[in-house]
Structure 1
């Protein structure tokens, strides 16, 4: 009888052996982004978060462009042309540092650049995408409004043609990541032809982007309102290849895919902090990691964390072969963000009072994820997307 092959050692950091599913190129992307985040973000993020600022964001954007992280899954125009799995791994590593950093990259690549790449004219692509891929120009995405978040079909922002053919935009957008540092905004507005997207240089007369302050979540991120008061744009500012909600919703689906991975990065960071703390913190004469209740918490956290990563990987492979449906993205976003928050909260209980300190990443990740839970589709909206897919019945209205 042939001898049984020797089993690999159990790896606490990868208990399911998910790394075996990754190609060398995947691992190289992951390690590059992880190394950049460890060098440029982790030493400073607690201070940035406490102060509610992201200093040097333009320099960070150029560095992210330098490692190919901006618009990395897009082809051409200076973009890396990476696989969906590689983009997901990058999102995981960025959010393991902080959700605000992943949001910067996600809004740049999966929303602003994606919209121009998929729906823009060749002139628009050539004008903006190479500079955005390099991080020389930061972009933002104007869809959500003060009174219309989950119901973008009833947005109030309007674009009208004047007698000379120019477009004139009026309206407000709210909770816009990168808004006050962006050089270009992709803005969605109602027109006589339906909802259309516009490429808006932020130095246009009538455009302003006051920054939103007093946030208790995504504090190391630039969040703004967009104000459009008679912003005049040439006729060719409109994205020519799409009309209706299909445009912005397809962008959001791509961005939500990144969240499926990114939320697991926040969860992993909190889980790792809890494991290390449990092995070193002593109570009743021994490390708390040696008590059954603590081990039960750690085991449950590990199960949900690595199930979530496996789900993200599965969705990435489907995206890479063109078979990922929006309902499946909703499945991933709904599950992984909810589980990530639960992992962070459980980690906080293991750390006890230290769990609320910025000396550890747990509370920072937990509060960030409260925003991730509701942006780009609330829990309820993704539940209804899945409910409709499962029953064939529309419960949105």
Structure 2
């Protein structure tokens, strides 16, 4: 499908190379199988992680320790092409790089960085991020998971987390817990006694992704397990901002994939002796879908350039996540209507993207949270309490 706005013409040669390399990997290694993965509710993380590591997309926006150290727009372009394959694939990369590697890179000790980051960048070790709890999703300040130091100096971790991508396949979890000094982050190897991560089943969204609960039953951790560089909600919220940035790019890929499928279908599906793409109502749908993809891509590119300039704010990230996810979900639903009954089968990517986007709408901050974030920025008044 032609890029009428020629947005990618503004990418650098290196950024276009990253786009093409990631797209080829998704085309060759993911698209032939992802429908089956979705239907069977599996994600071959151990097989794909080294491939993604060799591409340099795991922690690609971080510097050192085997990470690519690339700019924010490059990372965004990679997320776009990954999610054009499946939201679960981009989620794996986002969680690995922005939620598990980033806090270790930003707030960890030298020993924690050396132990985990090179292996995670290579895809040899998988990470997860424990913040959301069964009773505290949008309100992490009131989390119940807690860690207490005993007389030996060890930390004793107790509590539970929920909706954790990569949880049951992770080698390490970055877990946030209440302490006497406020919320702290802990680097928790998954083989630590008392740690368990049962997988959540019967999902109808993000089926090609591993989603788990985490349980901590008197998990004993050495003093060196705590992330020394941050205290309070600033730590987990900064990680969420990193992940949300990848999402606002990624959903453009999902939306584009739905639009491309709808355009191709409309040119070959014949009704009343002509392709349905020749009907005015279909063309109106396609035109508005394309406008939505283009506007979302321009938003992502603008925010990426702000991030590269060191000027991106959490409020701007909320704008991008709110606007682009909603646009992508609307585009997926319109594409489904153009494909009619065929739109609900996994022969086409549309229903898979549409179902996935229902999860993307609410994870990393629900739509309502981002609305209130923007409302507070506009009025100076806090509507959260």
Instruction: Indicate whether the TM-score tops 0.5.
Output: yes
CA deviations on 1:202-256 (whole Å, 9 max, x unpaired) are 0000001000000000000000000100000000100000000000000000100
Aligned residues: 385
In structure 2, distance between residues paired with 1:394 and 1:132: 38
Per the alignment, residue 172 of structure 1 pairs with 160
Alignment pair present for 1:351 and 2:335:
no
Give the structure-1-normalised TM-score. Answer: 0.96
RMSD over aligned CA atoms reads 0.6
SS of 2:16's equivalent? helix
SS of 2:352's equivalent? helix
Give the structure-2-normalised TM-score. Answer: 0.99
Alignment pair present for 1:52 and 2:52:
no
In structure 1, distance between residues paired with 2:120 and 2:47: 13
- Could you tell me which runs of 5 or more consecutive residues in structure 1 were left unpaired when the two chains were aligned: 1-11
The ranges of structure 1 where at least 4 consecutive aligned residues each deviate by more than 6 angstroms after the TM superposition are none
Per the alignment, residue 296 of structure 1 pairs with 284
Instruction: Report deviation, 1:347.
Output: 0.4
Instruction: Report deviation, 1:17.
Output: 1.2
- Could you tell me which runs of 5 or more consecutive residues in structure 2 were left unpaired when the two chains were aligned: none
Per the alignment, residue 3 of structure 1 pairs with none
Per the alignment, residue 369 of structure 1 pairs with 357
Per the alignment, residue 7 of structure 1 pairs with none
1:34 corresponds to which of 2, 16, 23: 23
In structure 1, distance between residues paired with 2:112 and 2:380: 39
Per the alignment, residue 6 of structure 1 pairs with none
Per the alignment, residue 95 of structure 1 pairs with 83
In structure 1, distance between residues paired with 2:300 and 2:8: 13
Per the alignment, residue 326 of structure 1 pairs with 314
In structure 1, distance between residues paired with 2:4 and 2:274: 25
Instruction: Report deviation, 1:306.
Output: 0.8
CA deviations on 1:40-65 (whole Å, 9 max, x unpaired) are 110000111001111x3112011100
In structure 2, distance between residues paired with 1:385 and 1:13: 36
2:326 corresponds to which of 329, 333, 338: 338
In structure 1, distance between residues paired with 2:2 and 2:353: 19
1:109 corresponds to which of 97, 103, 106: 97
Per the alignment, residue 206 of structure 1 pairs with 194
Alignment pair present for 1:394 and 2:382:
yes
In structure 1, distance between residues paired with 2:196 and 2:213: 8
Alignment pair present for 1:239 and 2:227:
yes
Per the alignment, residue 370 of structure 2 pairs with 382
SS of 1:224's equivalent? strand
SS of 1:31's equivalent? helix
Instruction: Report deviation, 1:13.
Output: 2.6
